[in-house]
Structure 1
Amino acid sequence: MSRIGQAVFTLFVVLTISFFMYRLLPGGPIEAMREQLVQQAVSQGDQVDIERINHLVELRTGIQPDEPVWKQYLFYLRDIVVYQDFGQSIWQNKPVFDLLFKAMPWSVFISIYGLLLGFVTNILLGSLMAYREGGHLDKSMSLVATILTSVPYYVAAILMLSVLAFGQGWFPTGGRYNHALTPGFTLPFMISVIRHAALPILTGFVVGFGGQALAMRGNSIRVMGEDYIRVAELRGLGEGRIASRYVMRNAILPLYTSLMIGIASIFSSSIIMEQLFSYPGVGWYTFGAIENRDFPLLMGIFLFFTTVTLIGVLIAEFTYGIIDPRATTGEREAY
């Protein structure tokens, strides 16, 4: 429970700092929104009604512009906790919660699948490279992994789009699914969803391929030199059991923690990915919110990224003992 309490406290601190940073910036979002509404009224030839403009700002952001900053913060916190109201998007003119609620599953879909696919492949490949250390497989895959790790994501995405989408026409060039189809659990719709998500997932897998494989290779080689591996061999344990129960289980520990924490970086990097592939997820809305200075939407997205990070850390802490029993028993021996 103490870890959950620490996570909630961290979320509260991040929310507080981000609110005051956004609000106190020169020419901040509230002032920008008010100025935009004033200009709209002037351009339409209407009389500028400050009270009405302040009321519109309050409706869209959940913040009363004429109140002190600390009161604005309390009202904003009340709306989030009590009413789950994150305000209204200036850019989309829709509630922030509704936008994120609809976009979140799509971002989770392409991000998690790409992350898990890459993680499992890299773990297996890294283990195989360690057991074939110095061989042709180890040398060739190490070279391939080094090259792919150094390729920027946007370069790989542009190449994928150019060759597989625009060139060969095997995959769609954008969107989440074919809008001519009716959404539902039907075979044509599910195939359309998979085809539209294939390139983002494949690009993430190709770019992420190799980094964890090299780390797993290095960890496995280090673990195979430990004394408890020699003890296990002297006990007559089979090679398969030693590889799975001793080598892989100990070598995977640092990568497991980085996997959980890396979930947040996957979502944050989706800003570039979703823009390139025109995939309307959380990253796509983030870019649009930055362009349009959409303060309510930016705050909601920032809280989403923070929450995902904290959940990843909590999952890592609660499940670490399953992978490494020493974390809960306090033992230092691995055999």
Structure 2
Amino acid sequence: MYEYFVKRTGQALFTAFVVVSLSFALVRLMPGNPADQLRGQLIRNNPDLSQQEINRRVANYINIDFSAPLHEQYLSYVSGILQGDFGRSISQNAPVSEILGQALPWTIFAFSIAILLMFGVGIALGALMAYWEGSRFDVSFTGVGIVLNSTPNYVTALLFLYVFGFTLGWFPTSGHISSQVTPVVDPLQPVATYDFVANATYHASLLIASVVITGFGGVALAMRGNSIQVLGEDYLRVARLRGLSDSRIALRYVARNAILPMYTGLLLAFGAIIGGSAILEQVFTYPGLGYYIVTAVDARDYPLMMGGFILITLAVVVGAFIADLTYGLVDPRVSTGGNA
């Protein structure tokens, strides 16, 4: 187990190192040279600035001093990343770490609820589909699952936004919370905390629904396939002889064992929510991490863009790392060392 832990930790650290190194190279090799573009912008807007002050501001924004030797630039850039310094946003005129730090909790909040609902509905439905394999219920929901899983979530998002947001006016079409709600999470203020969480969930409802509607079908189909393999086990025959109901057998016996192979996918989904947030957050004008990344791309805000890309990749790496280390605890039948 110790060797497995060291191996996986080394792989995760190496991946993170490659991501940071690639981000450094992209800043230097990206078409248009972001440093030169920023320098020209500063000269146009501030013609009285000295060349030394312009170079200092460029280094402050991009977190790379292009006047220093290449190895010093790289070491300084990596050192800044390790300290949480991603440079300064050009379009927002604020530290990138501050912008991402304020946006990330909202993305995690909305997409965590969406993924938990998506997996919960998909797992329960998939277990029932497998238990009644070949029935009208199974055939109908298999078709529905295939259609929904093939539909891009932004298509559903646009439909929900138009119908429930603009036409019917049932849900807000932008923002995190209402202006009259105070953002507070404090056990000593349960009423204010409940109002805040409820209002935040209300504002994110259409975004959450878009993820769940287009995602639960794929989870259900995967769960159905896993459950069919479990249905032939002896303990299910014993459960039927005991007179247990079909729904209890499907959800308690079949689902509990068929869900284990999907554990890794769940953790990877939590890591990937950050990367998959961009389009949906733009559709609903939900200022989370993906929203600011798309805004940075449109504004050619390289520091904010690269900081977001690094955070997305590291989130996926951390999700895979946790899945690797904990899967053996969830399913003791798996040998984490790979020698059994």
TM-score by length of 2: 0.87
Question: How big is the alpha-carbon RMSD for the aligned residues of Structure 1 and Structure 2?
Answer: 2.5
1:264 and 1:329 map into 2 onto residues whose CA distance is: 21
Q: Go from structure 1 to structure 2 and tell me whether the alpha carbon gap of 1:205 and 1:329 turns closer, same or farther (over 3 Å shift).
A: closer
Which residue is 1:221 aligned to? 228
Which residue is 2:117 aligned to? 117
Which residue is 2:24 aligned to? 19
Mind listing any 5+ residue stretches in structure 2 that lack a counterpart? Answer: 186-191
Residue 324 of structure 1: CA displacement? Answer: 1.8
The answer (yes or no) to whether the contact 1:130–1:217 under 8 Å persists in 2 is yes
Which residue is 1:142 aligned to? 142
User: Identical aligned pairs, as a percentage?
Assistant: 44
1:260 and 1:329 map into 2 onto residues whose CA distance is: 17
Report matched runs for 1:195-210 at 5 Å: 195-210=202-217
| 1:326 counterpart SS class | coil
2:237 and 2:95 map into 1 onto residues whose CA distance is: 62
| 1:296 counterpart SS class | helix
Which residue is 2:94 aligned to? 94
Query: Does structure 1 residue 276 correspond to structure 2 residue 283?
Result: yes
Query: Does structure 1 residue 326 correspond to structure 2 residue 333?
Result: yes
Residue 95 of structure 1: CA displacement? Answer: 0.7
Q: Go from structure 1 to structure 2 and tell me whether the alpha carbon gap of 1:18 and 1:85 turns closer, same or farther (over 3 Å shift).
A: closer
Which residue is 1:317 aligned to? 324
1:29 and 1:237 map into 2 onto residues whose CA distance is: 71
Residue 75 of structure 1: CA displacement? Answer: 0.9
Q: Bigger shift: 235-244 or 284-293? A: 235-244
The answer (yes or no) to whether the contact 2:274–2:290 under 8 Å persists in 1 is yes
Which of the numbers 308, 312, 321 marks the counterpart of 1:305? 312
Which residue is 1:170 aligned to? 170
1:259 and 1:201 map into 2 onto residues whose CA distance is: 16
2:200 and 2:101 map into 1 onto residues whose CA distance is: 18
Aligned pair count? 325
The answer (yes or no) to whether the contact 1:149–1:207 under 8 Å persists in 2 is yes
The answer (yes or no) to whether the contact 1:149–1:210 under 8 Å persists in 2 is yes
1:55 and 1:196 map into 2 onto residues whose CA distance is: 41
The answer (yes or no) to whether the contact 1:326–1:332 under 8 Å persists in 2 is no
2:236 and 2:67 map into 1 onto residues whose CA distance is: 72
1:262 and 1:194 map into 2 onto residues whose CA distance is: 20
Which residue is 2:105 aligned to? 105
Supply the AA of the counterpart residue of 1:184: V
Report matched runs for 1:57-76 at 5 Å: 57-76=58-77
Q: Go from structure 1 to structure 2 and tell me whether the alpha carbon gap of 1:306 and 1:243 turns closer, same or farther (over 3 Å shift).
A: same
Cα displacement string for residues 171-214 of structure 1 (whole angstroms, at most 9, x for unaligned residues) = 10110011233322414433321210111111110111211101
Which residue is 2:42 aligned to? 37
The answer (yes or no) to whether the contact 1:249–1:323 under 8 Å persists in 2 is no
TM-score by length of 1: 0.89
Mind listing any 5+ residue stretches in structure 1 that lack a counterpart? Answer: none
Supply the AA of the counterpart residue of 2:211: G
The answer (yes or no) to whether the contact 1:127–1:217 under 8 Å persists in 2 is yes
Q: Go from structure 1 to structure 2 and tell me whether the alpha carbon gap of 1:29 and 1:218 turns closer, same or farther (over 3 Å shift).
A: same
1:332 and 1:79 map into 2 onto residues whose CA distance is: 41
Q: Go from structure 1 to structure 2 and tell me whether the alpha carbon gap of 1:166 and 1:66 turns closer, same or farther (over 3 Å shift).
A: same
Report matched runs for 1:200-279 at 5 Å: 200-225=207-232, 229-230=233-234, 233=237, 238=242, 247-279=254-286
Q: Bigger shift: 186-195 or 114-123? A: 186-195
Q: Go from structure 1 to structure 2 and tell me whether the alpha carbon gap of 1:58 and 1:231 turns closer, same or farther (over 3 Å shift).
A: closer
